[in-house]
Structure 1
Amino acid sequence: MTENSPFPEQSPAPASRPRAHERKQHKKRWPLVVLWTFVAVLLVGGGAVAWYGLTLNNSFNQAEKLAPEAVFPEPADRPEETKNEALNILLLGSDTRGEIGDDIEDIDGNRSDTIMVAHIPSDRQSVQVMSIMRDNWVEIPGHGYNKINAAMALGGVPLVIQTVEGIIDIRIDHVAIIDFAGFEGLTDALGGVQINNPREFTSHHGNTHFPAGQITLTGEHALQFVRERYAFADGDYSRVANQQLYVKSVIKQVLSKDTLTSPGKIADSVEAFAPYLTVDEGLTSTFLAKLGVSMKDVRSDDITFFTSPTLGTGTEGKASVVRPDWAGLEDIAEALRSDNLYEYLNDKDGEQ
């Protein structure tokens, strides 16, 4: 075992595993509870709304709710509404490092370390989650060009949404913000999160060694895992990849039989991160329950993670920035507007 490592040495992960749809199907399919964390931020499936509804409702109601005027830009500053029933949900990870209080000003003034857009198509058969690297050099309305994660400090959630909508040219329907401290509680409530770490590294803060291969993250180490970037030559690129890996692993664990059939574990998971969660008023437990039922067939293999296209890094003054690939982003925007992002991403994979 490596010094300062909390993980025992383990064998490499198997080369392949059965697909979700190849696993034994049970007669009773559980509806999904949509959980939010991470990076981040986070859209995850969870179990049995009809059975656990009251408990989950009480737990979820600990989350802070924001009125529409505190969240969304003025209609004139937004893209036109689409006519399909797809949903686009902005997931933000704030670096306030503490419980989000009763006022939106507790979030304003802090940078958003993690930015994701979760696209749920009209057919509710899949989810596509796009990470936007925080150093993307973009135009922030009213403030000129800056790193995209500065939008929160410059104008709060409405300016973040306006900036993201300017990039993807489609409206954000809902927003969920979680303080990073919520990662720890969620991870521990699940009994740790198992991941297949593709690259060995030691965290800059905490000096924790993360070996390559199968490891189980505790809450404290999960936070270090998703935030580290100094250990990597490509910095934020590997950081975003680790954030996506963590979210995928949480989804897989939440959708496992052990979790879906455990009302206590599901309730504990929601209870753990709800105090660190802020959502718009439309993201009620009732809305999420109905959405979960409509997505009852979605499994971890149906959730695709990708990063918004970029052209690499550069500098602006003394700052290191990421150059957006505007042509690639226009393709993403068109796929979102036409509600065929799933097909677009599959076609892109086929070309590679």
Structure 2
Amino acid sequence: MRSDRYQQKKQTKKKWKSIVLILFLICFGLIGYSYFQYKQGVSQSLKKANIDGKEEFEFHGDKDQYGGTNILLLGSDARGNEKSRADTIMIAQYHPDKGTYKVISIMRDIYVNIPGYGKHKINAALAFGGPELLRKTIKENFDIDIKYYSIVDFNGFVHLIDEAFPQGVEIEVEKAMSAYIGVTLQPGLQRLDGKHLLGYVRFRHDAVGDFGRVERQQKVIKEIGSQFKSIQTIAKLPKLVGVMTPFVNTNMEATDILYISKDFISKDIQDIGTLRIPIDGSYSNQRVSGSGSVLAIDLEKNKQAIHEFLAK
């Protein structure tokens, strides 16, 4: 009797050892496959684009007070080694507990105090001291912490869109656009490649100027998110992250990007929340010697709007 029980326990133990070994091999295989796909994506991008070595920036960010992970998204038109102002400034928040994704657009002409430099347009902080100084500027003026940064230049944006969306991104173009964007766009629903999509999000030479441009940028973020969910699967993510890597200067690890992207695809995210700073009724257009036309804002109103938006 005791011998039978011993044999039974021995067989059960052996069975569990086999199961654990199989699970280990599966996990090891998935990690190996993911790494191979990631490196393949990196190699694919490097072959198609002439990408110089990335400048390394210090960045001392942290999670925000609401438990979210904030990413400073910057669009830059830097050429060569010149120090460029930020053409686009956004804060993207991912909240793992709530499963929410939000984007705040900060208009580049907002007139604020930049630590160590005095009052300037907020986009000058990138040229003065890189993403770390811009992080400090946002912290000082709006009391929001940012953990990561990602800088995409215009050339990188074009390649990134073309790699991620070979058939283009479907966008409803609301009007004819051509001034100072390098392409001509006609109104209507169409699929835009990277070059034409860049022109769409950069256009600002109409009656609403930069406000219309920010609205289009948020619209494109939402459309890319929606179309990304419909065409991508989790299995394709490692290669896509690899494709992105050469075009983006960031302090995020590939594993961080994969984690956030995986949740976005796998969870039922209905929409990406958006906010524009300054909010309506909180700013005025002014001219300042040495800075030109600026947006003078009510800091307290806009700080409150940001905190209410991120805390929801």
Give me the TM-score of the superposition, normalised by structure 1. 0.67
Question: Does the CA contact (< 8 Å) of 1:251 and 1:300 recur in 2?
Answer: no
For 2:58, the equivalent position in structure 1 comes to: 71
Distance in structure 2 (CA, Å) of the matches to 1:57 and 1:243: 28
Aligned residue runs from structure 1 range 152-301, under 5 A:
152-189=126-163, 190=165, 191-206=167-182, 208-211=184-187, 213-230=188-205, 232-256=206-230, 258-260=231-233, 263=236, 269-280=240-251, 283-295=252-264, 297-299=266-268, 301=270
Shift of 1:94: 1.3
Question: Does the CA contact (< 8 Å) of 1:168 and 1:332 recur in 2?
Answer: no
For 2:286, the equivalent position in structure 1 comes to: 314
Question: Does the CA contact (< 8 Å) of 2:173 and 2:185 recur in 1?
Answer: no
For CA contacts below 8 A with separation 6 or more, give which structure has more relative contact order.
1
For 1:112, the equivalent position in structure 2 comes to: 86
Distance in structure 2 (CA, Å) of the matches to 1:320 and 1:200: 26
Cα-to-partner distance string for 1:195-228 (whole Å, 9 max, x where unaligned): 12234433323251331x3121112111211112
Cα-to-partner distance string for 1:119-155 (whole Å, 9 max, x where unaligned): 2224141111000011111111111111111111111
Flag the 1:81–1:125 CA change in 2: closer, same or farther, 3 A.
Answer: closer
Q: Which amino acid in 1 is paired with 2:185?
A: H
Shift of 1:269: 4.5
Q: Number of paired residues?
A: 269
- Say which SS state the counterpart of residue 209 (structure 1) adopts: coil
Flag the 1:179–1:302 CA change in 2: closer, same or farther, 3 A.
Answer: same
Mean CA deviation greater in 221-230 or 300-309: 300-309
Q: Which amino acid in 2 is paired with 1:88?
A: N
Aligned residue runs from structure 1 range 6-17, under 5 A:
none
Flag the 1:50–1:225 CA change in 2: closer, same or farther, 3 A.
Answer: farther
- Say which SS state the counterpart of residue 108 (structure 2) adopts: coil
For 1:335, the equivalent position in structure 2 comes to: 308
Distance in structure 1 (CA, Å) of the matches to 2:124 and 2:249: 19
Question: Does the CA contact (< 8 Å) of 2:177 and 2:200 recur in 1?
Answer: no
Give me the TM-score of the superposition, normalised by structure 2. 0.74
Shift of 1:274: 2.4
Question: Does the CA contact (< 8 Å) of 1:195 and 1:214 recur in 2?
Answer: yes
Question: Does the CA contact (< 8 Å) of 1:88 and 1:171 recur in 2?
Answer: yes
Question: Does the CA contact (< 8 Å) of 1:248 and 1:300 recur in 2?
Answer: no
For 1:57, the equivalent position in structure 2 comes to: 38
Question: Does the CA contact (< 8 Å) of 1:194 and 1:249 recur in 2?
Answer: yes
Match of 2:271 among 292, 299, 302: 302
Distance in structure 1 (CA, Å) of the matches to 2:38 and 2:243: 14
Distance in structure 1 (CA, Å) of the matches to 2:78 and 2:255: 28
Distance in structure 1 (CA, Å) of the matches to 2:59 and 2:244: 23
Distance in structure 2 (CA, Å) of the matches to 1:202 and 1:168: 35
Aligned residue runs from structure 1 range 14-163, under 5 A:
53-58=34-39, 59=41, 70-72=57-59, 85-97=67-79, 106=81, 109-163=83-137
Shift of 1:268: 6.3
Q: Which amino acid in 2 is paired with 1:186?
A: L
Q: State the identity %.
A: 31
Distance in structure 1 (CA, Å) of the matches to 2:71 and 2:36: 24
Q: Which amino acid in 2 is paired with 1:203?
A: A
Q: Which amino acid in 1 is paired with 2:275?
A: F
Flag the 1:201–1:294 CA change in 2: closer, same or farther, 3 A.
Answer: closer
Distance in structure 2 (CA, Å) of the matches to 1:220 and 1:301: 28
Gaps (5+ residues) in structure 2? 1-29
Shift of 1:301: 2.6
Instruction: Please tell me the root mean square deviation across aligned C-alpha atoms, in Å.
Output: 3.1
Distance in structure 2 (CA, Å) of the matches to 1:121 and 1:52: 28
Distance in structure 1 (CA, Å) of the matches to 2:254 and 2:215: 30
- Say which SS state the counterpart of residue 201 (structure 1) adopts: coil
Distance in structure 2 (CA, Å) of the matches to 1:228 and 1:81: 33
Distance in structure 2 (CA, Å) of the matches to 1:50 and 1:210: 45
- Say which SS state the counterpart of residue 104 (structure 2) adopts: strand
- CA radius of gyration, larger in: 2
More helix by share: 2
Q: Which amino acid in 1 is paired with 2:78?
A: T
